[in-house]
Structure 1
Amino acid sequence: MEKIEKVLASGDTHATVNRDPNVKPGALDLKLSGPGVESMEFLAADLHPRAEQLFSGAWAGCYITNFGRVAAMKKVTLPSDYSVDIDVSIGSAGGGYCLGAEFTVRVPGLATEVVEELAQLTHQNCPYSKAVHGNIEISMNIVTV
């Protein structure tokens, strides 16, 4: 596995469970940040996010769904405000390019060891995590406060 030597671009996401009964399944609302811009909102007519942002968004949605399933399977009750941030970076390595990802899993009120176990089990179940396993560098931050 190659490690990024120099980050060229990065896309990060923040995912939460949507409990709004008025939102239709499949609704797309992208609020992204970009270089030199604090935040921007992309509407269906003007979608131009970077690939890293799209990949991190898709991965975060898949990962947080599987995190909830793994927690239920382990009979762990999650707080309503748990979340996952994924920052996907593309960078140079040797003569080519590679990806890296940094996860921040926030589960207020649970023991760090419990969240770490859930996070690792989720990586074993999430299709995106399985697809990149052993191919990119992934770091994990656990926040329980």
Structure 2
Amino acid sequence: MSVQPLEVLYTAVATAENGRDGRVASDDGKLDVVVNPPKELGGSGAGTNPEQLFAAGYSACFQGALGVVARQEKADISGSTVTAEVGLGKLPNGGFGLKVALSASIPNVDRDTALALVEKAHQVCPYSNATRGNIEVALTVA
């Protein structure tokens, strides 16, 4: 798969200090959070962690993509939610990797329509396009 050229419309900038046990802040000051490894990984769990930040970004982005698709399809997605679960684990080569489970709840459409909307949103979402072929992403409709 080749990299396609991109016309950049917006650039987010964030800087981390002390990696997974420190602080992350955006250049505009709107995001400034303490990050700590979760207790499950031997950390204090006192702050957020990169996986939670990724889950928040992916779920918000996917919800936005779902809105784009729903407008095109004239589908009512009011009251819908998207939940992202991001798993961190060891890869066979000794490195670390991620896997994602996205679950959409779309109460105002039937299940088949919801599944079709989620599949189409997965083709539109920038996070889905960035992760496609790199990590496992499972899609479900709640």
Q: TM-score, normalised by structure 1?
A: 0.64
Q: Which has the higher contact order (CA 8 A, sep 6+)?
A: 1
Matched, 1:81 2:79: yes
Higher strand share: 1
Matches within 5 A, 1:54-133: 54-78=53-77, 80-94=78-92, 95-133=94-132
Distance 1:83 1:64 in 2: 7
Distance 1:35 1:118 in 2: 36
Matches within 5 A, 1:22-37: 35=39
Q: Structure 1: where are the runs of 5+ without partners?
A: 1-26, 37-45
Distance 1:126 1:138 in 2: 12
- Which 4+ residue blocks in structure 1 deviate beyond 4 angstroms? none
Distance 1:56 1:84 in 2: 10
Aligned length: 103
User: How far is the alpha carbon of 1:116 from its aligned partner?
Assistant: 1.0
Q: Structure 2: where are the runs of 5+ without partners?
A: 1-29, 41-45
